[in-house]
């Protein structure tokens, strides 16, 4: 129960930060991403820079521990290589963010605040996740499939 409450509190703090920073407003995000526009809004660069600093601090503190506070071991990526799946996923994420101004976290917060465009985005995101899961299941079930 304690672990669940910590997760809930973390999510609420993260969501509040997204609201305060205006990351849930697609127009604000798109104004930041359009660096060639005369009305370019660089303010979200500060949000991104502060997120990098908080993450760096978290990683630095985490390196000093043998295990996380609420898990038996750290669970990081098993590979450090850049493969086709990672690069195509990153490109798809960037294109989606640039087209509509939402990424998953801000879209879920905007949805909880009743933004209709966020509903369309979240439904499309869930459909894409479902298609990917089905494709992976099919690929794994094929004889001679790569693990």
Sketch the domain layout of the chain as residue ranges.
2-141
Residues in the chain: 147
- Integer Cα distance of 105 and 131 in angstroms: 20
pLDDT at 145: 59
Does the pLDDT at position 76 exceed 90?
Answer: no
pLDDT confidence tier of residue 147, bands split at 50, 70 and 90: low
pLDDT digits (tens, 9 = 90+) for 20-71: 988 899 999 999 989 898 989 999 899 889 999 999 999 999 889 988 888 8
Main-chain dihedrals φ then ψ at residue 66, nearest 5 degrees: -80, -30
Q: What's the chain's average pLDDT?
A: 89
């Amino acid at each position: 129960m304690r672990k669940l409450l910590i997760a809930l509190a973390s999510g609420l703090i993260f969501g509040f930060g997204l609201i305060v920073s205006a990351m849930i407003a697609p127009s604000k995000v798109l104004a930041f991403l359009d660096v060639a526009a005369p009305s370019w809004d660089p303010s979200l660069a500060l949000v991104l820079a502060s997120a990098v600093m908080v993450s760096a601090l978290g990683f630095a503190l985490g390196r000093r521990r043998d295990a996380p506070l609420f898990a038996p071991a750290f669970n990081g990526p098993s590979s450090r290589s850049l493969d086709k799946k990672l690069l195509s996923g990153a490109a798809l994420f960037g294109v989606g963010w640039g087209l509509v101004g939402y990424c998953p976290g801000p879209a879920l917060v905007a949805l909880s605040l009743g933004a209709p465009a966020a509903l369309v985005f979240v439904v499309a995101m869930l459909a894409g996740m479902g298609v990917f899961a089905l494709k992976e299941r099919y690929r794994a079930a094929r004889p001679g499939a790569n693990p």
